[in-house]
Chains A and B, each alone.
Chain A
Amino acid sequence: MIEAEVPVVNKLGLHARAASKLVKLTAGFESSIKLIRKNQEVDAKSIMGILMLAATQGTQIRVITDGPDERDAMDAISEMFEQCFGEDE
């Protein structure tokens, strides 16, 4: 199991567009992936779960990956957050 904190840096936060990109990414990993914000824990493979986090710019999100490809999953997710989900800002 790996844990890491990632900040939401893109301007729009985890909006529908970012959330669908994230879901499409996480669906490709076997590991279970959780996102935690404050006390709320959601499945990163669930688009509605991610949307319900309502994470805006500046929010810190704890990511937990657990499974055979947990390292790859964590790397890919952190990269997607850093790259602002491919948005301009």
Chain B
Amino acid sequence: MLALHGTGVGAGIAVGRARIINRTSDKITQYPIAQEHVQKEIERLEKGIETAQHSLFELGKQFGKEVPEEVRALLEAHSLMLKDPLILQESSRLISEQWINAEFALNQYGTRLERVFEQIQDPYLSSKSVDVAQVIQRVLGAMTDSQEAIGGQPEGTYDGEIIIVNDLTPADTIELRKHRIIGFVTKLGGPTSHTAILARSMKIPAIVGMHGSVGYLRTGDLLIIDGKRGVILASPDNRALAAYQRRREKIIRRTQALETLRDAESVSLDGQRIMLMSNVELPDEVSYSVKQNAEGVGLYRTEFMFMNREQMPDEEEQVEVYKQVLEKSDCPVTIRTLDLGADKQVDGGRSADNQSTNPALGLRGIRLCLHDLGLFKPQLRAIYRASIFGRARMMVPMISNVEELDQLFRLIDEVKQELAEQNYPFDSELQVGGMIEVPAAAIAADIFARKLDFLSIGTNDLIQYTLAIDRIDDEVNYLYDPIHPSILRLIKNVIDAGLDAGVPVSMCGEMAGDPAYTRILLALGLREFSMDPAGLLEIKQIIRRSDVSQLKLSLPKFMSATEPEKLRQQLVELNR
């Protein structure tokens, strides 16, 4: 038995056989060819490129009309690269100079190209080496007619298997939806990679960022993967297998038991109504949110539409997507304006000139938007234009300064006036709220509460900024503590400021979806939670078993505790 660790994504446990999918280039062999066969090899290469172009075209067709924009842009970029005369010319030159087979020549040239791209100073252009690699892969796959290429496998080939792969491309993730895969393991990638997004949307566990240790896994190995803990057990012994099977069954039973709460009201024992909303990223996820009986979308992230593509979505495209999202739900949908920067870099070249050493404190969120009206104004117009298709609200991220709000409101007035002149209908009463995630805004929440229609606490950034720790830095993330007294005080301050101003306060950070903190948040007075819809029923269960007025009584003791150990102890007691 072998235990390996990575970054866990998605809840749950999967038990199944491993299937390693090697990229074609891992097994390219070199063989010499006779000089008189040079021409034939070159023709084979031409044919391979043609087949690859065709397969790319077919892939595009499979999506039909519903090609996600980022996939479309990617397909187009790849198809331009396939048409690039350089690939054919340079590989042909290698074939005729070195008398080697076409696959090897292509692979050799591809590696060289990748290296050239990697050496480009500009980080954006340099990242194109990935696309180069993928395009070369596609041609190699077409030439070797590889059985192991991800694409083109009959539906159901990988049913019941755990897929192990270096990394998934957006195109792969679409192909893989055709199979009933039970889990993923990848060498590369983090919690926001395509693999992670795919795993979450397929509701299966994944372990990403395994690095070298994927090398220990073999096709056919029995694996246990635990998405919650980020653990893989390979060839487990009977005891481990039995234990995990029990845990897996327990999780399934619990999930089934929670299902019965789907239609139950989200009310505490003492009759307090608590609003449960969901965080979504893709229009599809709104349907899931509706299915979970969420009372709305507390956070619809719009970044996804802007990432992994060459060209920014224009106003029309955005209107279309927001309309889709709004029409899927009868409940309020909170559209958050672009929150790019820091860990979420945008393509289209915009990230290239932003090389701040401290991006989390740099030009991001509303700052970036107000700085780049060419990016922001079409989004505002699109949100207002789409507002008539459902119950939209708008929320701006990263506010730290009242002047930003004044600027925003002037811009909104401008947009409304323009839309009215152009005869576009829109909801002129659209609610505008702000994310409270910068300590400055949390401390002075009363000022912001007076200017906005609602507040939403973004705990991930609030905690990171307040405690001055980078969550993705392995060496300091042990300091990440949602119940640090400073955080509890800030949250309380925001909730109280909202109450005083008569403005609703919700929370959309990870803390809101973590069952360990539900009760302390209830005690602090939080009444609106927004989270990953997959965890919604569990939080509802806790709420239904909690007496809010009782919880409130224990709050003073909590707020005055000074020892972290004691605080943790109190939290355990609170959750009992």
Contacts and interface: CB of A to CB of B under 8 A. Distances in A.
Given A47-B80, A51-B117, A15 B85 contact: no
A49 B132 CA distance: 12
Size bin of chain B's contact surface: 20 to 34
Contact of A52 (B81, B120, B352): B120
Interface in B82-128: 83-87, 113, 116-117, 120-122, 124-125, 128
B349 interface: yes
A23 B80 contact: yes
Contacts of B85: 43, 45-46
Nearest to B113: A48
Interface in B211-231: none
Contacts of A78: none
A3 to B, nearest CB: 21
B77 interface: yes
A16 interface: yes
A20 interface: yes
A48 B124 contact: no
A22 B156 CA distance: 42
B340 to A, nearest CB: 16
A52 to B, nearest CB: 6
A12 B349 contact: yes
B131 to A, nearest CB: 9
Nearest to B128: A51
A16 B374 CA distance: 19
Contact of B124 (A15, A52, A88): A15
B348 interface: yes
A17 B86 contact: no
A1 interface: no
Interface in B354-386: 374
B349 A51 contact: no
B58 to A, nearest CB: 21
Contacts of B77: 16, 20
Interface string A9-28: 00111011100100110010
Nearest to B374: A88
A60 interface: no
A23 to B, nearest CB: 6
B121 A54 contact: yes
Contacts of A46: 84-86
Contact of B122 (A11, A49, A56): A56
A27 to B, nearest CB: 8
Contacts of B353: 11-12
B477 interface: no
Interface string A51-84: 1101010000000000000000000000000000
A48 B310 contact: no
Contacts of A54: 120-122, 125
Interface of A: 11-13, 15-17, 20, 23-24, 27, 43, 45-49, 51-52, 54, 56, 88
28 contacts: A12-B349, A12-B353, A13-B122, A15-B125, A15-B348, A15-B349, A15-B352, A16-B77, A16-B124, A16-B125, A16-B349, A17-B310, A17-B348, A17-B349, A20-B80, A23-B80, A43-B86, A46-B85, A46-B86, A47-B80, A48-B86, A48-B113, A49-B86, A51-B120, A51-B125, A51-B128, A52-B117, A56-B122
